[in-house]
A and B are shown apart, each in its own frame.
Chain A
Amino acid sequence: MEKKLWWKLLCVPILMYVIIVGLSVPLSPGITSMSQYTATTGQTFTARVTTYNTFHTKAKEVKARLRKDTSLFIAAQNVKVLDDNNIEVTFLIPAFMPSSKEQERFSLDIDNDFDGYGTLPGKFVIIQSSIDSLQGAQVWKNTNFGDLSERGTSFPFRGLLFETIRNTFFHVPLWFAMLFLFIGATWNSFMYLRTQDQDHDRRAEVMTMVGLVFGLLGIVTGMLWAKSTWGTYWTWKEIKLNMTAIALLIYFAYFVLRNAFDDFEKRARISAVYNMFAFVAAMILINVIPRMTDSLHPGSGGNPAFGSEDMDNTLRMVFYPAIIGWTLLGYWIATIYYRALNIEEKYLERE
C-alpha cells in the first residue's frame, strides 16, 4: 500500500477539509453572561444579557425564555435589543414555581430568526418563599413562545471552551494517530521477532519515532487547551497528563536502548522485545489508570475521551475525518523517514 499514491492524495484533502471546516464553521449563538443571576418569585426581573456570535440588530424578532424543561417555561415580557451582542430582557416571574424546593435552577434561552437559538444551561436561580409546585406548573405552562428558530451549521457553544472547542480536531485525533502508529510499531516488532528481517526493525523504529512526535504534539495542544480552560499549562492533579507523559518517557527509553548497541542484529532483537513490552506498559498507563481516578477531562472517571453528550453531529463530521487524516499523515511521514534511513544505509555501504 505504501508505494501507492491514492492514500496520500486522500490524506491531503481530508486534512485540508479538517483545517478549513474545523476553523471556519462558526460557533452556535451562545450566552456568555447576565448582569444578574438570581431572582425571587413575583418580581419583575430585568437583566442585561451578553451573547456571543449573534446579530440581534439584523433579526426581525428576538425572543427569550426561562425554562425548567421542554414543557415548563415562561417567555420574556419584553426584549430590548441594545446592540448585536447585548440585549435587555424583562421577565415577570410568577408567584409560584413548578418546584417544591426553595431554590430552583433554570436555563435561559435566547432566540432570534437570524442566528437561531442559544442557551445558558442551569445557571439562573429563582428563590421562592411559598411553595406550591402544582400551581407553579400551571403558571409556567401558560405562555406562548412559538418554536425555536433553526440555526445553520455550527459547532456547539460551550461555556469555558468557547472557540477552543475546535481543538477537538487536533488534540484528540493526534492521540489516536499516535496510538495507531504505536500499534504499527508493535506489530512490526512482532514480525521482526518472527522473521529476523531488518526491514521490520526499521519500520518499528520509524513508527515509534513518528508516534512519539505525535504524542508530543498531543501534549502541546493539550497544554494550550488546558491554559485557556483550566488556567494552567500543566497540573499535577490531572492524572492523564502525567500518565501520558510517563508513557512517552517509556518510548523515549526505546531510543536510548537502541543507541546502547553497536551490533545490528542484537539491537534489532532487543529493541523489538522492549518495544512490545513498552506497548503493554504504555497501554496500562494511558488506558487503565486514568479510568480509575477523577480527571478534569471530559468523560472523567470512566471513558477517557469524549462522552456521547460532549459531541454533536457537526463536531463528528469533522472529528472522524480528522482521525483518519492525522493517522494517514503520520504513516506518510513514517514512510518518508523509512526511505531516508534506507538511503542513508546504502550511502554508508558504498563509502
Chain B
Amino acid sequence: MNTFQEIWFLFRKELTLEFRQKYAISGILLYVFSTIFVVYTSTFEAGPKQWNILFWIIVLFASVNTAAKSFVQESGTRQLYYYTLVNPVAIIISKMLYNTLLLLALNFLAYGVFSLVLGSPVRDLQLFFIAIFLASLGFSITFTFISAISSKADNSASLMAILGFPIVIPILMELIVVSQNAMPGSFDSAINEDIMILLAIDLMLGGAALMLFPFLWRD
C-alpha cells in the first residue's frame, strides 16, 4: 500500500469511528449550541466587529475541544498497532484531514446557528467562507499536532491549552483581519495578500508538523 492509500484508509477509519460513536460531533454540537445560547440570552448587542470576534472565539474553543481528542480517543496499544502497519506520516495526515473536515462542518454549522440567532452582518459571503476554510485548515493542523504532543503527557487537557493557544494566535489574528474585511464598513484592497499570508502560515506550520511527527509517535 502506498502512502496515499494508507491516508485514505485511515481517513475512512476515522469517519467510520465517528459515525459509530457520534461522540465528538454531538459533544461539539452541544457545546456550540449552548455557547451561542448563552450569548443570545445575555441580550448582547453585537456590532459587526463584536460579532466577528465572538464567532472566532467560539470556533477556537470548539476546535480545541475537537482536535484534543485526536490521539486519546483510541487506546495506546491500538495506536501502536497502527504504527506497525502504516507510515506515521499517513496517520497524522489522515487525522489532520479528518479534523479539517470536522471543523469545516462545525464552523459552517456555527455560522448557521450564529446568523439564525444573532443575525449575520457578513457582507462578502465568499470571503468569509474562505476565512472559515483557512481557519479549519490552520486550527486542524496546529491542534492535531499539539494534541499529538500533549497526549504523551498525563495531564494532556491542560497541556493542550498551554501549548496550543500561543501557537495559534498568528492564525487567529490573520483570520480576524480577513473576516473583518467581509463585514460592512471595512474594505482593504490588499486582502488577497492577507489570504496568501494566512495560507502560508497554515502550510508552514503544516510542513513543520509533518516533518516532526515521525519523531513523536514512538513510545
Q: How long is the Cα–Cα vector from A257 to B193 in the complex, in angstroms? A: 35
Q: Is A213 an interface residue (CB 8 A)?
A: no
Stretch of B3-11, B101-109, B204-212 lying at the A interface: B204-212
Q: Which residue of A lies closest to B174 (CB)?
A: A289
Instruction: For residue A148, give the distance in angstroms from its CB to the closest CB of chain B.
Output: 43
Q: Is B49 an interface residue (CB 8 A)?
A: no
Interchain Cβ contacts under 8 Å between A and B, 8 examples:
A243-B170, A261-B153, A269-B216, A276-B208, A281-B166, A281-B205, A288-B201, A289-B173
- Residues 177-219 of chain B: 1 if any A CB is under 8 Å from the residue's CB, otherwise 0? 0000000000000000110010011001100110010011011
A281 touches B167 (CB 8 A): yes
User: B197 touches which one: A247, A249, A256, A292 (CB < 8 A)?
Assistant: A292
Q: Which residue of B lies closest to A194 (CB)?
A: B215
A250 touches B166 (CB 8 A): yes
Q: Which residue of B lies closest to A289 (CB)?
A: B170
Contacts of A269 in B (CB 8 A): 215-216, 218
User: B149 touches which one: A193, A250, A273 (CB < 8 A)?
Assistant: A273
User: A260 touches which one: B155, B174, B193, B197 (CB < 8 A)?
Assistant: B155
User: A281 touches which one: B152, B170, B218 (CB < 8 A)?
Assistant: B170
Q: Is B118 an interface residue (CB 8 A)?
A: no
Contacts of B216 in A (CB 8 A): 269-270, 273
Contacts of A288 in B (CB 8 A): 170, 197, 200-201
Q: How long is the Cα–Cα vector from A247 to B165 in the complex, in angstroms? A: 11
B167 touches A250 (CB 8 A): yes
Q: Which residue of B lies closest to A280 (CB)?
A: B208
Instruction: For residue B172, give the distance in angstroms from its CB to the closest CB of chain A.
Output: 10
Q: How long is the Cα–Cα vector from A249 to B163 in the complex, in angstroms? A: 9
Instruction: For residue A123, give the distance in angstroms from its CB to the closest CB of chain B.
Output: 33
User: B152 touches which one: A193, A266, A272 (CB < 8 A)?
Assistant: A266
Contact count band on B = 20 to 34
- Chain A stretch 228-272: residues in CB contact (< 8 A) with chain B: 243, 246-247, 249-250, 253, 256-257, 260-261, 266, 269-270, 272
Q: Is B169 an interface residue (CB 8 A)?
A: yes
Question: Told that A260-B159, A284-B170, A288-B201 touch, could you supply 7 new A-B pairs with CB distance under 8 A?
Answer: A249-B166, A270-B149, A276-B212, A277-B205, A277-B212, A280-B208, A289-B170
User: A253 touches which one: B155, B162, B173, B212 (CB < 8 A)?
Assistant: B162
Instruction: Take A270-B149, A280-B204 as given contacts and tell me if A193 and B159 are in contact as well, using a CB distance cutoff of 8 Å.
Output: no
Q: How long is the Cα–Cα vector from A260 to B146 in the complex, in angstroms? A: 14
User: A284 touches which one: B194, B204, B215 (CB < 8 A)?
Assistant: B204
Count of residues in A whose CB is under 8 Å from the partner chain: 27
Q: How long is the Cα–Cα vector from A246 to B162 in the complex, in angstroms? A: 12
A277 touches B145 (CB 8 A): yes
Q: Which residue of A lies closest to B159 (CB)?
A: A260
A-B contact count (CB 8 A): 74
Q: How long is the Cα–Cα vector from A190 to B152 in the complex, in angstroms? A: 19
Contacts of A76 in B (CB 8 A): none
Q: Is B74 an interface residue (CB 8 A)?
A: no
Residues on A facing B (Cβ under 8 Å): 193, 243, 246-247, 249-250, 253, 256-257, 260-261, 266, 269-270, 272-274, 276-278, 280-281, 284-285, 288-289, 292
Q: How long is the Cα–Cα vector from A247 to B152 in the complex, in angstroms? A: 23
Contacts of A285 in B (CB 8 A): 169-170
Q: Is B45 an interface residue (CB 8 A)?
A: no
A256 touches B159 (CB 8 A): yes
Q: How long is the Cα–Cα vector from A280 to B166 in the complex, in angstroms? A: 12
Contacts of A276 in B (CB 8 A): 208, 212
Q: Which residue of B lies closest to A249 (CB)?
A: B166
Instruction: For residue A194, give the distance in angstroms from its CB to the closest CB of chain B.
Output: 9
Of listed A193, A250, A253, residue having the most chain B CB within 10 A: A253
Instruction: For residue B135, give the distance in angstroms from its CB to the closest CB of chain A.
Output: 16
Of listed A257, A273, A276, A292, residue having the most chain B CB within 10 A: A273
Q: How long is the Cα–Cα vector from A288 to B204 in the complex, in angstroms? A: 12
A246 touches B204 (CB 8 A): no
B197 touches A273 (CB 8 A): no
Instruction: For residue A172, give the distance in angstroms from its CB to the closest CB of chain B.
Output: 23
Of listed A257, A260, A270, A276, residue having the most chain B CB within 10 A: A260
Contacts of B163 in A (CB 8 A): 253, 256-257, 274
Contacts of A278 in B (CB 8 A): 167
B204 touches A273 (CB 8 A): no
Of listed B201, B204, B215, residue having the most chain A CB within 10 A: B215
Q: Which residue of B lies closest to A269 (CB)?
A: B215
